[in-house]
Amino acid sequence: MADRSGLRGARAAATLTGHRRDVDAVDVTADARLAATGGDDGIRLWNPGTGAPLGALAAPRMSVASLCLSADGTRLLSGAWSGEVRLWDTRTGECLRVLPDNHALLDPARWSPDSGGCTRIALPGGGTLPDDVVIGGAHVGFGPGERSAVVGGVDGIVRVWDLGTGAVVHAMDAAGGARGLVPDDVRIGAVAVAGGRLAASAHPDGVRLWDAAGGRGGRVLRVPGAERRRPSALCLSPRGRYALAGDRDTSLLHLWDVATGRHVRTLDGRVMWSFGVAFAAGDRFAVSAHVDGVHVWDVARGERLRVLGERDGRGASCVAATPDGRFVLAGDHDGTVRVWELGWRPSSDVHPGGADIQ
């Protein structure tokens, strides 16, 4: 992939219509031949270049919180708001495996009534969860070699599942022993896997990191000067060198150097809440989903280059981008998914991988 020096232009390439309600999750393959979108009415598959629908995937009472396509697009992981995780064959529409939801994994022996008569469950690291509240959802990604599924959920635990056997091979406490009333203090808001690293946004101070293969580590990337700040959106750059997270309570995005743990810079989107973030065109550029549209960033310089969809007054509920930055997809609360094609200015002055971030 050629180095980029800046954004040259953007055009609306397609609008995907078919979902009846909110689109909460989107992913696209690197070659832009397949996109997956999900919401309250299940999963739909598309050719993002032409806007042509390619099929639908559905299961009983499936409301989708997150999606992750395999590199070749033949398999899809879906995480539901109920906590259930499914592995799909995108060519046949067959569900290949169902992983237990994260509520079912909690120890039944720890259930107990509270003083008001409501049944509650004690969670790892402290705190309790009312049994009649469905929150958090399952956030998913493929592990190294795509032989495993990384799942973060309402209990604050990141589990790595062997997709061949259906067994848990690693379990990491993303809440870091945090105590307090869940969901806000414990549940996982997003997971990301890249460059042999695994990241989860659950720790009250920022993002927690592990080695993706062995589950070792646990370093915390902290939001400077913030108390109990948990990002609502998270991504790793393609080689796992940088982490980018959107703050759930402010208009800010935070960029870290993963190897050193250094907080590189803060980006201000000027609108509350980030619904999704993704790197595009290497390590240097990124996109983020907000209520006013999709923000395109030069993260190396800390500059917002453009807001896609700003003129039509529609926001974005989730976002994905191809690694080369050519296509950006964003879901909306009205059930549509918009596709933009971006043009970039080439440059010979930028170090490969966007290593000029300082």
Q: With 90 as the cut, is the pLDDT of residue 28 above it? A: yes
Q: With 50 as the cut, is the pLDDT of residue 226 above it? A: yes
pLDDT at position 111: 37
pLDDT at position 124: 47
Q: Find, among 345, 354, 337, the residue nearest to 300 by Cα.
A: 354
State pLDDT tens for residues 166-198: 999 988 887 665 433 344 455 678 899 998 999
State pLDDT tens for residues 255-308: 999 999 999 999 998 877 788 999 998 889 999 999 899 999 999 999 999 999
pLDDT at position 12: 93
pLDDT at position 112: 42
pLDDT: which is higher, 27 or 131:
27
pLDDT: which is higher, 185 or 153:
153
State pLDDT tens for residues 295-346: 999 999 999 999 999 877 778 999 999 999 999 999 998 999 999 999 998 8
pLDDT at position 193: 94
Instruction: Please list, in sequence order, all residues whose beta carbon lies within 8 angstroms of the beta carbon of residue 313, skipping any fewer than 6 positions away.
Output: none
Q: Find, among 202, 198, 188, the residue nearest to 102 by Cα.
A: 188
Query: How far is Cα 355 from Cα 235, in angstroms, rounded to an integer?
Result: 17
pLDDT at position 306: 94
State whether the Cα torsion 13-292-284-245 is positive or negative.
Answer: negative
- Which range (90-94, 231-235, 271-275) has the least confidence? 271-275
Q: What is the dihedral of CA 263, 289, 229, 116, to 10 degrees?
A: -160
pLDDT at position 173: 80
Mean pLDDT on 54-83: 91
User: Is the bond preceding 183 in cis, omega lying within 30 degrees of 0?
Assistant: yes
pLDDT at position 228: 56
The pLDDT-based confidence of 120 (bands split at 50, 70, 90) is very low
Phi, psi torsion values for 145, nearest 5 degrees: 75, 0
Q: With 90 as the cut, is the pLDDT of residue 117 above it? A: no
pLDDT at position 157: 82
pLDDT at position 357: 58
pLDDT at position 219: 86
Q: Please report, rounded to a whole number, the percentage of residues in the chain having pLDDT higher than 70.
A: 79
Q: With 60 as the cut, is the pLDDT of residue 147 above it? A: yes
Mean pLDDT on 44-61: 90
Query: How far is Cα 107 from Cα 84, in angstroms, rounded to an integer?
Result: 17
pLDDT at position 33: 96
Query: How far is Cα 169 from Cα 1, in angstroms, rounded to an integer?
Result: 35
pLDDT at position 206: 78
Q: With 60 as the cut, is the pLDDT of residue 239 above it? A: yes
pLDDT at position 185: 53
pLDDT at position 243: 96
In the chain, what are the domains? Answer: 4-346 (2.130.10.10)
